[in-house]
Each structure stands twice: as C-alpha cells, then as structure tokens.
Structure 1
Amino acid sequence: MAQLFFPKEIRDLEHRIAATPETVKKLIAAGYQVSVEAGAGEGAFISDDNYTQAGATVGDDLKSLYEAADIVVKIQAPQHHPGLDVHEAELLREGSTLVASIVPQNALDAVRIMMDRKVSAFSMNLIPRITIAQKMDTLSSQASLAGYKAVLLAANQLGKYFPLLMTAAGTITPSKVVILGAGVAGLQAIATAHRLGAKVEAFDIRAVVKEQVESLGAKFIDIPVEDAEDAGGYAKEQSEAAQERQRKELTKRLANADVAITTALIPGRPAPLLITEEMVAQMPAGSVIVDMAVEQGGNCALSEPGKTVVKEGVTIIGELNIPSLVPIHASQLYARNVLNFFTHLTHEKEFQIDTEEAITDGSLLTHEGECRHELTRSLLEEN
C-alpha cells in the first residue's frame, strides 16, 4: 500500500494545498495511505483535525514524513526549504515519486537533483491536452479562478465604476476593458468583466476563439495573423512582422481602455510582449493593467513580478500567484484534478508508471535518472 504525503507549501504567498478531506477519503478508499504535514491546510482554512477525521495521519517531523513517502504530492515545484536549510528535492527518497505543478524551465535545479536521486517526477502542467485528461487539467482549473480574480483586482484599483450608471446627477458610462488572450483565463476574465457591466473587447491570435469571445458578450478584436495554434491547442509564437501588426492595432484599443488584462503564454517560452512602454504611455491616466503572465516574463514591458506599480499614470499589477488569492476553491479544484490523475494511473490499488500510456508519457518529467521532456533536456544542456 503506497504512502502519499502532502507537505505544506513553502513558497511565499502560497495558500493552496494539493489535498482536501474529500480527496483524502477517496484516495484512502482507492488503496493509499495518506499523511499530511501539520498546518499544511491552514492557508485554505482546512484544519489538521479535518484531515485526521478523513483518515490521514498528520505529523510535523518533515524529514521523516518525506522518508516514509512513496509519493509526494504538492503544488509548487521543489525549492530550498529555509527552515531545514535543504532543497525540498533532496528530501525526496531516492527512487520515490513526485507529483506537482512543475514549470520545468523555472525549476532546473530541482530537475537536476531529482535526476540524481532517480525520482519519477510528474508535472501536472505537462499533462497532454486530450479529452480523457480534461478532468486532470490543473492549468485550466487554476486559470479559470485566476481570470475571475484578475478582474476583481483591476476593479479594486480602478477609480471608476465598471457598469453603466444612470443617476439624477448624470450618467456614468461603463468602463472599457480589453482582454489580451482568450484561453481559459481570458474567457473567464471576459465573462466576469461583462457580468460587472463593463464594455469588453478581447484579442487572441487564434481566430477560432472568436465565437467563444462573442458568446460571452465581448467584441472580438480581429487582427489578421499567421497560423496561430499548435497541435496541442496552444498559441504559437508569431513572427516579428505579425507582432508589429498586432501592436499597432492594440495601441489604438488600449488608448481608450480603462482596464487591460493580459493572459498570453507560450508553453516552454517567455511570455510574448503585448504591451510596450509606449503603449502604456498612451493609456488614460488612472487606467489599470493586470499582467497575468508576469511570472513568465510578463506581457507588459513595465510590469514587475510580485508588485503593483504606477508608471506613466497607469497602475500595473504583477501578482505572481493569483489562484492562491482564492485558496479554498483553488485547493478544492486542484485536489480533484490530482485525485483524477491518481484514479487514472492506479490499477489494482497500485500506482503504475507505464511510459507507453499517453498521460504518463506526456507528464513524466524525470524517470530512472533521465529527463524525459525534450525542451527541459535542451535547457539543462545549455545551463
């Protein structure tokens, strides 16, 4: 019977946890033993007693908990643990398994350690975009929450109403919101801004999302682009000429916008630059930008990771971990994604690593001392 361990996240401002009492019960029913680090659920308002009542063992001897674990499940990639003065990846027992939302290019040190320790590391971020894997898609579940919260962050900073307001003192026109990127986060941002009464426009280089954008009440900004979608359904990097055409049109739209929310990411690469310093300078004083791609370099040239700054009279929000601002539901959704992942890979009450199986093959980052992810291998060689 495999031992699962859920440690407390140590990254600053990370309040989520990868297990809830609901999923703990189901994992135990599936044949696993479950342990949780004391205090791990506090950020999501889950007490240690909640976990023990669900059947988990709660402990505070972190090194012993790691040593006893066959599989460690967390949200953030392993990093240096300040309390123990050791890297979390070094706490993993040699030959054990890790399941986490690892962005490989941002965690090369952890990848190297896990290769040395022959850890089988699964990245929830690398789960392939196929129908059977939708219920395990942590990127989508967390992006939806982030898109919702990003609009509220913008509304909180904006010195205007979002909706149309007609009063005896006169009429207040609705705020204008521009959403750049219409993936899961962008679509949820569109829906939220529309519900709040804003006038919403949205742009995505994938013209196929136009119908979805318009169905949510927004106007699609139609700019001719190159072939813009890869086989996995993600946006592809565009040529400089194409990007220049986009910037020219978006400059016009942003010059009249009260809020801009950027969500554009390209897997394995820095976030594309969508809003230049010159474009920011042309936005109205008091307007707001929420750069949801700031952790991958940012879609706005002036955003600063983890900071809210005012530049050229525009407030630019660079919140690093927006889903963690909604920790209760973010933990519930992530934990259910994890449960579905384990359900798929558990056979006869055993977690099986079958490298020929599609989801395993796509999400298995390191295994038996090797890095299986092509882009990460090339980055390891370069660095």
Structure 2
Amino acid sequence: MRAGIPAESRPAERRVAGVPDTVTTLVAAGLAVDVQAGAGAHAHATDEAYRAAGAEVTADHPAGRAEVVLSVQPTEHVDRLREGDVTISFLQPSTELDHVRALRDRGVTAFSLDLLPRVTRAQTADALSSQALVAGYRAVLTAAERLPRFLPMFTTAAGTVPPAKVLVLGAGVAGLQAIATARRLGAVVEAYDVRKAAAEEVRSLGARFLELDLETQTGVYASQQSEDTLARQRELIADRVAASDVVISTAAIPGRKAPVLVTTDMLKAMPAGSVVVDLAAESGGNVTGSVPGEEIRVGDVLLYGAKNMPSTMPAHASRLYARNVANLLLLMTRDGEVRPDLSDEVLDGCCLTHQGEVRHAPTRELL
C-alpha cells in the first residue's frame, strides 16, 4: 500500500507530516511512500533527502493515488479520496464539520490526532503534547522580542538591571516549557495551575507555584470549572498579573472553550510596556479581547493572540509531528498493509469517520 505526504496548502502552515527519517521507518514497514515535491521545504527537508530515504517524489497531491494520506491540516482534496482510503491529520472536527461530512460521505476512514486518547500506549503518537512543547518555547521568545526590557538581571558599571517577572498560567506541556525557557533566559518566574500535581513540576523548574485559596483538581488533565470558581480565580491572581512584566497563558480544556483567566481591567493594571501572550487564543482565549494572529494594545500593554505557533518553528515541529504520525500509522500496519483494528482503544478513540459513519459521538451530535 502507498502512504502519501502532501505539501500543506493552508496559509501560514509550514509544517510537514513526514520527514526523511520517518519515511525510512514507513518503508521498512513495507509501505511505499509518495511525497509531493516541495512538501518539506519549510522544514529544510529536500526532495533529494526524501528520495534517499526511499520515497517517490511526485508533482501532484497524493490523494487518489495513495491509500493513506498523512497531513498536518486536513487534506483539501477530499473529492479525490476513495472509499476505504485512510487519512491522518490534525483535523479539529468541531470547526471542520463540512469536511467531516465530506469524509463520511466518501467512506473515508479518518483519524484525528486532536482526538487521540490520553493513555500510556498512545504517548508516542501524542501530537498535542509535542506541538504544545514547541508553542510554549516559542511563546516566551515572542514575548521577549516584544518586551522593551531585558529578561535577565544585569549588573553593570551604570547600575543593576533587575530581572523581568514572568507569570505562566497553566502548567501543562506548553506551560512547563514556557517556564523552563523563561528561566533559562534569566527571568523570575511564577506559575499557577488548577491541578495539585502541577505544583511539584513547577518548582522542579525553579519557578514559584502560586498557592491560591481554591479547590484543586487531582486529575492529570484540567477539567472545566464553574463560572463562580473562575471569577474567584481571577480575583486571586489579579495582583500577580499586575506585578508581572510578561504573562504567558496556556490553559486549555480539550474539546471546550478556553477559560477566561485575565480580564481587560487586569491588563490595564500591568506595568507599561508589559507583554501578554495568549496561547489559547485559537480556542476562545484565556485573555479577554485576544484575537488569533493579532497584536492588540490595551493601554500600555501589548496583547498577542497566538496562532499556530508550532508552525513558526517548522523544522523541529515537523520532526516531532512526523514521528507522532508514523507511530500512529504503524499501530494499524501489518506486512505493508494498513488495516485499522478499531477494537484497539487508541485507534477507536481517534477515529472520526469509518465506512460512511461518524464514529466520534460529540461530532455526530454536532452534525
């Protein structure tokens, strides 16, 4: 069977779903691999490198030729897909309902890494985590570029420059990477998360964990909170936001709108020149007024709504994502044949459409 890796066509998407290293892995598993010419250009993966890894480089999009299409964004050529073909992408069903309908109607078996179950067996395919790592790192660099002062402390003959104060809201993968990066750059960092277990991880990175008079959660992943709890949370962190030079917000709840943690009044209380980077902007925003991909001035504070941050670092983001995709594909590949076993909890959990049906219940309800 053939697996195809297209060049991404959506604006500002610079990642690719396969790199030469993962092509080698797929070829070793018995698959033939087609790569659209120029697919890896932004990730510095040349057509020659793909050929050397065993791929066939083609001029056209692989949909309609390959039985399996691997992409970052959902393929735009659904009309070329045939019944029984398989796709793996970062398809977010709640915002791509027309695309889901098209996949269903053509009998395509579509897997979304956005739906991957958070179980141990699935960790090597966990693209949400791998891309969050890139986003957390990049968020701090984005803030540092826009902050009109140093992050680290400097002692000079002209006096001492104190370090910047950075507040990270949410200590998942993106938040922890933001903490680590800000600490490496010399900032004084504090962080908050509703999950009790996050405190130890935050402290292990050299940051201060904010202890708030609120009920904590015990799960590995954050769950939705009541509006009363969120209002109390905002009240308790307001003074820490006001004392910060940089705020990085990363709080997200899978499948739901991001919680609002920072209000306009809180922004206005920050020091002049402060920078806020909202990594949750695309899922509703942790910060009131944030818009994906836009910089907004709120008084003397700059609010940046992040949009597809991993794509701004396409080389490593692609390397990580490609490995996630390959690992998921290998779960359903035997002797060069891709035959998904949907009794497997990992494959079942991220299978969106199969044999003309929408298998993901929340998406089925939206349709």
TM-score of the two chains, using structure 1 as the length reference: 0.93
Q: Which position in structure 1 is the counterpart of 2:249?
A: 262
Q: Cα deviation per residue 1:194-244 (whole Å; 9 max; x = unaligned)?
A: 1111110101111111000010011111224446355xx321111111111
Q: Which position in structure 1 is the counterpart of 2:336?
A: 349
Q: How does 1:13-24 map to 2 (within 5 A)?
A: 13-24=12-23
In the alignment, is residue 73 of structure 1 matched against residue 70 of structure 2?
yes
Aligned pair count? Answer: 367
In the alignment, is residue 308 of structure 1 matched against residue 305 of structure 2?
no
Q: Which position in structure 1 is the counterpart of 2:153?
A: 164
Instruction: Name the amino acid aligned to 2:54.
Output: G
In the alignment, is residue 238 of structure 1 matched against residue 225 of structure 2?
yes
Question: CA contact under 8 A between 2:147 and 2:275: conserved in structure 1?
Answer: yes
What secondary structure sits across from 1:223 in the alignment? coil
Q: Which position in structure 2 is the counterpart of 1:54?
A: 53
Q: Which position in structure 2 is the counterpart of 1:35?
A: 34
Report the more deviating stretch, 27-36 or 273-282. 273-282
Question: CA contact under 8 A between 1:150 and 1:261: conserved in structure 2?
Answer: yes
- The 2-side partners of 1:3 and 1:155 are apart by 44
Q: Which position in structure 2 is the counterpart of 1:44?
A: 43
Q: Which residue, 250, 264, 268 being the options, matches 1:277? A: 264
In 2 relative to 1, CA 54–153 (structure 1 residues): closer, same or farther, beyond 3 Å?
same
- The 1-side partners of 2:214 and 2:352 are apart by 33
What secondary structure sits across from 1:68 in the alignment? coil
Q: Cα deviation per residue 1:55-75 (whole Å; 9 max; x = unaligned)?
A: 11111233xx31111010001
Q: Which position in structure 1 is the counterpart of 2:315?
A: 328
Instruction: Name the amino acid aligned to 1:144.
Output: L
What secondary structure sits across from 2:297 in the alignment? strand
In 2 relative to 1, CA 227–287 (structure 1 residues): closer, same or farther, beyond 3 Å?
closer
Instruction: Name the amino acid aligned to 1:60.
Output: A
Q: Which position in structure 1 is the counterpart of 2:197?
A: 208
Gap regions ≥5 residues in structure 2: none
In the alignment, is residue 251 of structure 1 matched against residue 238 of structure 2?
yes
CA positional deviation for 1:309? 2.1
Question: CA contact under 8 A between 1:268 and 1:375: conserved in structure 2?
Answer: no
Q: Which position in structure 2 is the counterpart of 1:127?
A: 116
In 2 relative to 1, CA 320–378 (structure 1 residues): closer, same or farther, beyond 3 Å?
same
Question: CA contact under 8 A between 2:82 and 2:107: conserved in structure 1?
Answer: no
Deviating 4+ runs (over 6 angstroms):
none
Q: Which residue, 97, 101, 109 being the options, matches 2:90? A: 101
Instruction: Name the amino acid aligned to 1:228.
Output: Q
TM-score of the two chains, using structure 2 as the length reference: 0.97
Q: How does 1:145-184 map to 2 (within 5 A)?
A: 145-184=134-173
Q: Cα deviation per residue 1:55-108 (whole Å; 9 max; x = unaligned)?
A: 11111233xx31111010001124xxxxxxxx4322322321110011211111
What secondary structure sits across from 1:320 in the alignment? coil
Question: CA contact under 8 A between 1:177 and 1:260: conserved in structure 2?
Answer: yes
Percent of paired sites with the same residue = 49
Q: CA RMSD in A?
A: 1.3
What secondary structure sits across from 1:177 in the alignment? strand
CA positional deviation for 1:36? 0.9
CA positional deviation for 1:349? 2.9
Question: CA contact under 8 A between 1:229 and 1:236: conserved in structure 2?
Answer: no
Report the more deviating stretch, 337-346 or 30-39. 337-346
Question: CA contact under 8 A between 1:302 and 1:311: conserved in structure 2?
Answer: no
Question: CA contact under 8 A between 2:37 and 2:59: conserved in structure 1?
Answer: yes
What secondary structure sits across from 1:191 in the alignment? helix
What secondary structure sits across from 2:63 in the alignment? helix
Question: CA contact under 8 A between 1:9 and 1:15: conserved in structure 2?
Answer: yes
- The 1-side partners of 2:252 and 2:242 are apart by 23
Question: CA contact under 8 A between 1:38 and 1:59: conserved in structure 2?
Answer: yes
In 2 relative to 1, CA 270–88 (structure 1 residues): closer, same or farther, beyond 3 Å?
farther
Q: Cα deviation per residue 1:92-147 (whole Å; 9 max; x = unaligned)?
A: 22321110011211111111110111111001121111112111111111111111
What secondary structure sits across from 2:349 in the alignment? helix
